[in-house]
Amino acid sequence: MRTVLRKHNNRFRERLATSRVLAILRAEDASWFADAGQVVYDAGLRVIEVDLATPGALDAIGTLQVELGADALIGAGGVRTVADVDRCAAAGIDFVATTTFWPDVLWRAQECAMPIVCGALTPTEVDAAWRYGPAAVKLFPAGTSGGARYLEEVRSTLPEVPLVPAGGVALSDVDDHLGAGALAVGVASALFGDAVDGGRLDELAKRASHLAAIADRYA
């Protein structure tokens, strides 16, 4: 089991390190997720997280997996319980992500051999989470906790931990976070804007292409 999990984690980290951007879909409903996901995929952002708090999230993930194919990684965010992990495993989701550190959730993801990006903020939380074997640690909420400078401080203490800052991250912050050593950067509303509510997909395409160009510099 550990060998399988290690293999899956390594493969996931490699894909995330190539994409450099974790595109996070969150809205009041998932009606426009397929369209928005296609746009960011076409721009070159191939790792997408769909927040479970969105009604219809699991169905939307399934649709994205079918429409975007194996070249994309589609995961579930906002995972907080063992039951959430079980639902995601049953649905064949590529990875799960949390915004908090809860050992039972990490253990369950490991039992399912499913890569997990575990949320944490302080160095103590990050260190504790990393000891439970996630694929990476989501530094959350990064946008209101000191930004790239805070990331640098955490990495100076825990350089072996692959960090994915997310939560309140602006488009203008992505370059700084990657320059500070982030494995990837999670971007939600700053990327998708009103496209998740039926807004302008052409503007989303411009933002996604801009982020993909930044990511290419760190690939």
pLDDT in tens, 133-149: 999 999 999 999 999 99
> Has residue 174 got a pLDDT over 60?
yes
What are the φ/ψ torsions at residue 199 (nearest 5 degrees)?
Answer: -80, -160
The single-letter DSSP state of residue 170 is -
Widest CA span of the chain, in angstroms? 45
**Residue 28 is part of which domain span?**
2-214
Give the predicted TM-score (pTM) of the model.
0.96
Q: pLDDT higher for 188 or 2?
A: 188
What average pLDDT does the chain have? 96
- CATH code, domain carrying 173: 3.20.20.70
141 vs 170: CA distance, rounded Å: 12
> Has residue 1 got a pLDDT over 60?
no
Residue 100 inside a domain? The answer is yes
Residue 36 inside a domain? The answer is yes
Contact 34, 61 (CB under 8 A): no
Q: Which of 178, 168, 208, 121 is nearest to 26 (CA)?
A: 168
| Rounded mean pLDDT, 100-123 | 96
Residue 93 inside a domain? The answer is yes
Cβ-Cβ contacts under 8 Å for 173 (sequence gap 6 or more): 142, 143, 147, 148, 185
Question: What's the domain count of the chain?
Answer: 1
Cα-Cα end-to-end distance for the chain: 30
137 vs 130: CA distance, rounded Å: 7
- Sheet containing 116-120, strands listed edge to edge, beginning at the edge strand earlier in sequence: 163-165, 136-139, 116-120, 95-97, 73-77, 47-51, 21-25, 185-187
Residue 96 inside a domain? The answer is yes
Confidence of residue 191 (pLDDT cuts 50, 70, 90): very high
Residue 219 inside a domain? The answer is no
109 vs 8: CA distance, rounded Å: 12
215 vs 219: CA distance, rounded Å: 6
Residue 116 bridge partners (DSSP): 96
Cis amide bond preceding 55, omega within 30? no
Cβ-Cβ contacts under 8 Å for 170 (sequence gap 6 or more): 143, 190
Residue 10 inside a domain? The answer is yes
Residue in the structure block whose two tokens are 């550990």? 2
- Which spans in the chain are helix H? 2-19, 33-43, 57-68, 82-90, 103-111, 123-130, 147-157, 171-179, 189-192, 201-216
Confidence of residue 14 (pLDDT cuts 50, 70, 90): very high
What pLDDT score does 2 carry?
65
